[in-house]
A and B are shown apart, each in its own frame.
Chain A
């Protein structure tokens, strides 16, 4: 692998409320131009990792140890001023819900040009031209009209395209896509995935794609990291994970989803024995940690 743009090693996070571990020694790499799928069921810690990478962890979550090296620098050691130049700039977000992520009271033009004016110091007129280019890049119809619109006047698919444009606006090196297509219809989802792939190829952006949908993973991710209760269960290339999964939990998750092509296959819930074995493992390693 080429030099990773992001390398997380042995990251541990705990809840400040009750001291409960949230991330347990997570390690992962992403190379430029590559998409890493961050997969797991609710409570797996995928959002915590995404938030840590964007500097928006809630106050109740504390990073206890580990390294988050982005572009050669450990984010945990950088002063706040430096971090402000990275979060939302070098690392951008494509959020899940396109409606609540846009400001309902401001026109798209304002929201798309904010970063360009404030971060890149572009004058109004140039920022506007760049924003229009971005809307064309994300293949929005009638970009002029969209610029004048408020978020509620746009369809869900168009709103998601606007957010993708906003994410790519500052040419970030890393994009965190947090379930970006979960709220979309399947036909729109396919278009949005295709668009993200095209833009990524063009800009050589690294993407961390948070999702619970293994179908989406198969189509867009190069590598996959599967988490369970804050711990990496298995990671590898997408082909390895889907075709020759090693861990019983990986196999079980693949068998749990309904399959229109094999109606008799899917719908097998993950067995209790698999979950119990995973939990026992976690308890054992938590014990070792606290004694170390």
Chain B
């Protein structure tokens, strides 16, 4: 719906925002195992033609239940998963089938923060190594000293004690590890950050700290962000726009204030109704579910 997209943008800002990443009609099929003598058997299509765009400086949410394809969509945008149809553009340039040699320079500009920092941080490296190595690899820092300087400066920004620098990931708390994950992505001064379920394992207070930090960083650094989450409340509090996914298609998308106030798709309504709020609401449990049946 290009008309709707342009009009909603015009009401928001006078300057036309620039699209950073866009995907058109992308499909992803996960192939089944090859078995000897039987060739390739079937495959599972997990994205059925998805259109999505992310403007510069904008935070979008991708929400859906398990198996809806939200993580696959995120990975496809970063070219971490190959698409079987459709196209992906970055700053207007088609990157759908860019060879690896040309993708590497783009990797710095498209960063990812993972759900579980315990398994996404190398357990045998110190936090210092984890943070300085990408800076040197991508030549953001000129030498080791420069890399160290940048890391130390950034540590203050993300409120991590310097004593963490020479520790291993397992010696940090969950919230600290997640801030290391954020620092690793943000230190490379990317244009786009994909955050996949990054607060689902954290306590509420740590969750609030982490989300506030990301909101502030994206503002300061002018980042575009995509937030993947199953939690509509998280999406509502950090995102400008939201895409609701179900069974590999976009059920609904639009500005958060619109979608949450007046969802057009019944599935969005169902998701909203299923969020328990911390307030007394005696009818909630029996409302809206199909009698509790599967």
Contact = CB atoms under 8 A, between A and B. Distances in A.
A215 B279 CA distance: 7
B292 to A, nearest CB: 4
B7 interface: no
B276 A216 contact: yes
Contact of A187 (B204, B274, B277, B279): B274
Given A186-B65, A198-B292, A258 B278 contact: no
A52 interface: no
Given A243-B280, A257-B204, A269-B208, A141 B66 contact: no
22 contacts: A42-B174, A140-B294, A141-B293, A141-B294, A185-B65, A186-B232, A187-B271, A191-B292, A191-B294, A213-B276, A214-B278, A215-B278, A219-B281, A219-B285, A243-B279, A257-B208, A257-B278, A259-B233, A267-B212, A268-B208, A269-B205, A269-B209
B237 A218 contact: no
B85 to A, nearest CB: 28
Contacts of A231: none
A218 B285 contact: no
B270 interface: yes
A258 B275 contact: no
Contact of A258 (B208, B272, B274): B208
A195 interface: yes
Contact of A261 (B203, B208, B277): B277
Given A219-B276, A252-B205, A266-B237, 17 more contacts: A41-B204, A186-B65, A191-B289, A194-B289, A198-B292, A214-B278, A218-B278, A219-B281, A219-B284, A219-B285, A254-B278, A259-B236, A260-B236, A267-B212, A268-B208, A269-B212, A270-B205
A95 interface: no
Contacts of A161: 294
A256 B207 contact: yes
B280 A197 contact: no
Nearest to A219: B276
Contacts of B204: 41, 212, 214, 253, 256-257
Interface centre among A190, A191, A256, A259 (most CB of B within 10 A): A190
B279 A256 contact: no
Contacts of B232: 186, 260
B247 to A, nearest CB: 13
Contacts of A212: 203-204
A98 interface: no
A268 B206 CA distance: 10
Interface in A195-217: 195, 197-198, 212-217
Among the interface residues B66, B205, B238, which one has the most CB atoms of the partner chain A within 10 A?
B205
Given A187-B65, A258-B236, A258-B237, A195 B278 contact: no
A191 B270 CA distance: 12
B163 interface: no
Interface in B71-106: none
A258 B276 contact: no
Contacts of A193: 276, 285
B234 interface: yes
Interface string A258-290: 111101001111100000000000000000000
Contacts of B236: 258-260, 263
Interface string A237-265: 01100110000000011101111110100
Nearest to A182: B200
B260 interface: yes
A63 interface: no
B275 to A, nearest CB: 6
A212 B201 CA distance: 11
A48 interface: no
Contacts of B252: none
A163 to B, nearest CB: 15
Nearest to A215: B276
Contacts of B231: 186, 258
A259 B277 contact: yes
A20 B212 CA distance: 33
A193 B238 CA distance: 28
Nearest to A214: B278
A242 B65 contact: no
A220 interface: yes
